[in-house]
Amino acid sequence: MNTSSQTAPSLQGKTLFITGASRGIGLAIAKRAAVDGANIVILAKTTEPNPKLPGTIYSAAKEIEAAGGRALPLAVDIRDDDAVFAAVAKAVETFGGIDILVNNASAISLTNTEATPMKRFDLMNGINARGTYLCTAACLPELKKSAAAGRKPQVLTLSPPLSMKTHWFAPHTAYTMAKYGMSLCTLGHARQHQFSARLFCRLR
């Protein structure tokens, strides 16, 4: 976390590609960026209202535009390779490129091994680790172009810094593995391609 008193740079005109942006932290990040006049690509699966999970990609788009940004709502499952690459192409077609990737989408199950069926294990690793890897890979060409243009691209991942202390693994081994997969992906790609990467938040 940056605790300096310096004013954060404006996101005016920057394009953010945010996974899981129809609600929660993803939407909060999108709306804050919209205040600066950013372009927001909303990736999420929810297209129809659900009383248990408020918010759709379309309601999120309205909130983002009301806050001052431009929104592109896209119904995407980030486990689907073709859908993710198509979303990147649509983002480029609409906004001209991608400057910031926010890997926010995540599945959670705070259960021990006996209470975690393999279907849930696969879901968490498919969305958290694989989805983050896929979205980063798909956005890389545009992030490189952003860097070449001097726009200082970034990848923000909602996952924790790495710690091998067992108390992070014991209560929910599968979930911790999936979240750490997000962190490993981000750190590895940042070093490979020399863009700024940030890990944001701790394990629950």
Give the largest CA-CA distance in the chain: 51
CA-to-CA distance for 37 and 64, rounded, in angstroms? 10
Element (H, E) at 189: helix 173-193
Which member of 58, 133, 175, 180 is catalytic? 175
Catalytic annotation present for 175? yes
Alpha helices in 57-150 (DSSP H): 57-66, 81-95, 118-124, 131-148
Chain centroid to CA 144: 18
Pairing mode, strands 15-19 and 100-103: parallel
What residues are labeled active site? Answer: 175
